[in-house]
Chains A and B, each alone.
Chain A
């Protein structure tokens, strides 16, 4: 379904109501254009800019003749309305659409440069703290071992 979509397409779709139109892919709907024409057909693809490709489309303009096209492409700007079939539940459709999208990044982030750098810094900080504690310990015990010593910690 999203065979040709770029990351920009997917971002646009996931952050607007485009995902609802994409949920209509495979369904028959009526697209009303700005030039008063109506196209009824099977929505084959909706891209990130809302361009719509339809198959098996019938175009009708103000009770003019009907024109039939196997493939029909509508540029996004020309869409005024899309009549959604009544048997579609909006929230359900959007949820399914968004869950089906592949994740944009791998979930295991431990081998990224950022993570490696963070671990390196952590080691250095721990080493530094250890040296601090060592230095404090050395200052506290000026007496040779054998005499009673109090542990502060």
Chain B
């Protein structure tokens, strides 16, 4: 009789998409929001509306300006840091682990 079952790791069941967010609790995540905003922070809490509480969060706002002379698009980003932030869920587009090389 094989003893494989005795050394199995604790099973994490993922049944619905919200469970994927549960996997990221207390980890740093990347949140894309409406109006060209992005948040990177530590996920402390979330709910079914995707209201979230993020700690040590950096918000990046991206704006596009058209240069009048050269007619080229200039992308500008504005960043700011907030120690603890409650985010209302209806502004959230997606939630993801932070992308490689840009934590």
Contacts and interface: CB of A to CB of B under 8 A. Distances in A.
B21 interface: no
B86 A20 contact: yes
B84 A17 contact: no
Interface in A76-98: 76-77, 79-86, 88, 90, 94
A88 B84 contact: yes
Contacts of B46: 17
B48 A16 contact: yes
Interface in B66-103: 82-88, 90-91
Interface residues of B, number: 19
Interface string B28-47: 00000001000000001111
A50 interface: yes
A20 B53 contact: yes
Given A16-B48, A84-B53, A79 B88 contact: yes
B8 to A, nearest CB: 30
B91 A80 contact: yes
Given A77-B90, A80-B91, A90-B53, A17 B45 contact: yes
A31 to B, nearest CB: 9
B60 interface: no
Contact of B49 (A16, A34, A80, A81): A16
Nearest to B53: A90
Given A90-B44, A90-B45, A16 B51 contact: yes
A88 B84 CA distance: 9
A84 B45 contact: no
Interface in A36-94: 50, 76-77, 79-86, 88, 90, 94
What are the 7 tightest A-B residue pairs by CB atom distance, in nearest-first order?
A82-B86, A16-B47, A84-B84, A17-B51, A17-B47, A86-B83, A79-B88
9 contacts: A16-B49, A17-B45, A17-B53, A17-B86, A20-B45, A21-B86, A81-B85, A81-B87, A83-B84
